[in-house]
Structure formats: structure tokens, C-alpha cells
Amino acid sequence: MSPNNNRRQHWINENTKFGAHGHGIEGVPIFRVAVSKRRGDFTMNVAIVLAAGQGQRMRSKTPKVLHKITGLSMVGHVIRNVRAAGIDQTYLVIGHQGELVKQEVPDVIHVEQAEQLGTGHAVNQCRVALAEFEGIILVTYGDTPLFTADTFQQVLEYQREQMVAATVITAIMADPTGYGRIIRSESGRVTRIVEQKDANPSQLEIQEINTGTYCFDSQLLFTYLDKITPDNAQAEYYLPDVLPLLLGDGHEIAGYCISEAQESIGVNDRVQLAEAEQIMRKRICRNHMLAGVTIIDPQSTYIELDCQIGQDTVIHPNTHIQQGSVIGADCTVGPNARLTHTQLGNGVNIEQSVVLDSTVGDNCQIGPFAYLRPGSKVGADCKIGDFVELKNTTVDTCSKIPHHCYIGDAQVGSGVNIGCGTITCNYDGEQKHKTVIGNNSFIGSNSSLVAPLRIEDGAYIAAGSTITKDVPKENLAFGRARQVNKEGWQKRRANSDS
């Protein structure tokens, strides 16, 4: 038996064993999947997302499909858009470091491809689970994150309308080098896909290419997967080899040409990852601008998925707005700002500052060079100025911390003014302690507030004080050594040195 036949027999044996166990999906019995099948109901859609490959060209310990674009893994983008397209069930074929992929995308049906024997072999791992399914199967890849939900939805509708065996998603490439060329009949049907190495000069001039993503009639797909062979240099089972077999038996194949060829870009290395990131960022910025946000320089603005920005907010260059951030209307953000899981009210001005897992009320001024660490809550009409660091601190309305302060594990009331150089001494070497500063208090410059400590409403702390005891309401507190002036000291020092 030839090596290719050995591999084919191994594949058949694996699939026989796969079915005999009654579990095509780890931990999910076949009958659980079959419950949702509707024989003959071609309104049902299933997606198979291939994510088993190692991705050696990424040169990374992380599985290729888990590398992130605009804050979400590539496979996460694919699953997100498949669902938004109205797919009923999604099967994720995993292999290399599959457990990590499962952790990233837990809420799909995972199918293991224990040995990577090609894309056709990968799809065939879903055979038993989908044995009774009659409908449309979309097959796409975990490393093609730029396909939109609209494209998936439209190609599903096109497959349904055309009633063909398969639909190939195609694109027009200005430079189609390296891609399989689409050959169409006069009626527009796909009659052949010619690979670059097999194309003649006239075929090489064709700019319509095969993106590698398909829709199939489910029953025909698995029938013809049994007929493909690994007669190629890699001795693998390739999914596109199904197409000529379908055509040879008189089945029709349609081609759905997408309007934006960029959607079909696959990511195989870090260069392509950066290119995909740039395309996705451009989309996100465009959507925000069309919704009424001014972005001064979209090319230097980094906005991740699922961020909300209100109308008439202005985003300056080199600003990073990360997932989970909500920005109100009429704000000014940047330049050189970073927001992560942050909520800003309306009319907030943030310049050259970092805000992490915090909330900021209306009409606040943050920065420049402020650092709001997780758990900080700033009320309306406050100022958190230059080189101020907050950590797990609540600041009530109309309070000011203008510059050069560290306020951690504190509760600051309304109308408070905290002078330059003030710190809360919140850590005793073993535990963190809280500082409470009452409404309308004044903390003089260069004060050290040693927690646990309570400064009640209207209290006044003299500059340069170290405060270790609670300060009652409207009291003045100072805790510093008495000043002593030594008359003639400098002259005596000079004489002693001579």
C-alpha cells in the first residue's frame, strides 16, 4: 500500500472509530446535536470554523488563531461574525494547543482533529455530528478574521437562492499572484478553479480569485469528502478537491464575489497580523466617525471593538481606547491617552493620561500625565491634574487634586482641595488601609496621611504635616517639627573649614 493510501486508510479508520464511539465532539453526545436537525429544512445553517493548525510562521508559543486584532482573538472575530450572520450552530475544529483555543472560545461545539491531515480531513471530523443535518454548511477559517457578518449572511442567502451544490466566496485582486483563479461559464457559474502553478498565460490575467471560504449543501459535502484523495506533495486531503468532483458529476457551483477583497485576507505571520489590525482599526474608526465622533488622525488612533463614544467627542492622535470603554458626548480625549474598561461622562477632557477600570463623571479635567488605576471613581466637575495617581479611590463632586499626588485606598468627599505632594500612606507592609477625607476639607501641600485615618468635614491640614490621628470636623491639624533657626551657623561653618 502506498504512503498516500496508508494515510487515507488511517483517515477512514479514525472516522469509523469516531462514529462507533457515538461522540464526535468531546463531551457532547451526538444525539444532543441531532435534536436541532430538521431534515429537509434548508433554512438551517451550520458553520464549520477550521482552527487546528499550528501556524509556524507566527513564530509564537500562542496558537495562531488566538493572536488578537483590536482586542479580540482572530478566531473570536470569526465566531462573532458567524453568529451575527444568523448561523444556527458553530463547530470549531481544534488541534494544535486545542485546550487553549477552547478556553478562548468556550461557547461553541468543539471538534478535535487529532492529526492534521488537511482541510478536507478537518471538515470531515464533523461528519458524525452532522450526519442527519440537511441544510447549508459555511466553511471558513479561524485565521481569516476580516470577513464581516454581512458577507456571511449574503453568501448564505445567495447559496439558498441559487440552489447549487456549493458557493465559492471570490474576490477581485489587483495582484492575484499566488491565488487560484476562478473560471466561469457564460451563465456565470464556476466551472473550474485553476491554481497559479497550473494556469496558462490567459488564465493568469484573471483577477477573480478563490478566497477559500465556501458554502456547501451539507449532504453533498460529506458524500464527496469521501471521494477526495491525498494525491499531492503534502499527502493531505484538501477541501477544494471536492469542487471538481461535484462539477464532474454535473452539480453546479456558484461564485459570490465580495465587494471588498480585503475581507478575504488570511493571517499567517506577524506582518499580516499588523495589516489585518490596520484594516480593522480603519473600519472601527470609520463607524465612529459616521456616528458623529471626530477622530483627528484615524491612522494613529487605536479603538478596539465594543467601545461606545458619544456624539461630538473629539479623539486626538495616539489615543488607545480599549474594550469595555464607554465615552460620553462632547468629550476631548488625547493626545496620548489610554482608556481601558473606563466610563467617561459628558464633557470630560483627558490629555496624556492613563485610565484603567475606572469611572469619571461629567465635566472633569484629567491630566496631563494623570494615572487612574483600577477601582477609581471620580465624580462630576473634578480636576485630577498632572502627575496625580489614584488607586481604588472615590473622589466626590467638585473636588480638586491638581498635581503631584498619590491617593490610594481613599474616599474623598465633595469640594475637597488636596495640595501638591500629598500622599496617603495606605500600606503598612502587610495590609492596605483606608483614608477618609470629609467634604470641603483642605489638605495642605506635601502632607502625608497615614492610614487608617479619618479627616472629617471642613478640616484643614497644614502644609508639610504628617497626620497619624483622626481630625475632627472643622479642626486645624498640623504634624511637623517646630522650625529652629541657628543664628550665624553658616559663618561658623565656614570658619571651622578654614
Catalytic residues: 403
All residues at 6 or more sequence positions from 355 whose CB lies less than 8 Å from its CB, including other chains: 337, 338, 339, 340, 342, 366, 370, 372, 376
Q: Is residue 245 packed enough to be buried (19+ CB in 10 Å), middle (13-18) or exposed (0-12)?
A: middle
Distance CA 437, CA 418 (A): 10
Half-sphere exposure of 251 (CA within 13 A, CB side): 20
Cβ(60)–Cβ(73) below 8 Å: no
Distance CA 369, CA 248 (A): 68
CA 43 to chain centre: 31
Cell numbers linked to 336: 496620548
Q: Which of 224-235 are b and which e, b meaning 16 or more Cβ less than 10 Å from the residue's Cβ? A: bbeebebeeeeb
Cell numbers linked to 330: 462632547
User: Rounded to the nearest 5°, which phi and psi values hold at 334?
Assistant: 95, 180
CA 177 to chain centre: 31
Helices 149-162 & 74-84 angle (0-180, nearest 10):
50
User: Rounded to the nearest 5°, which phi and psi values hold at 301?
Assistant: -115, 130
Cell numbers linked to 151: 458577507
Distance CA 53, CA 116 (A): 7
Closest by CA to 371, choosing from 337, 331, 399, 400, is: 337
Cβ(60)–Cβ(52) below 8 Å: no
Cβ(435)–Cβ(441) below 8 Å: no
Query: Cα dihedral angle (457, 462, 468, 472), rounded to 10 degrees?
Result: -30
Distance CA 169, CA 439 (A): 64
Strands 319-321 and 301-303: parallel
The vertex-276 CA angle with 270 and 281, nearest 5°, equals 125
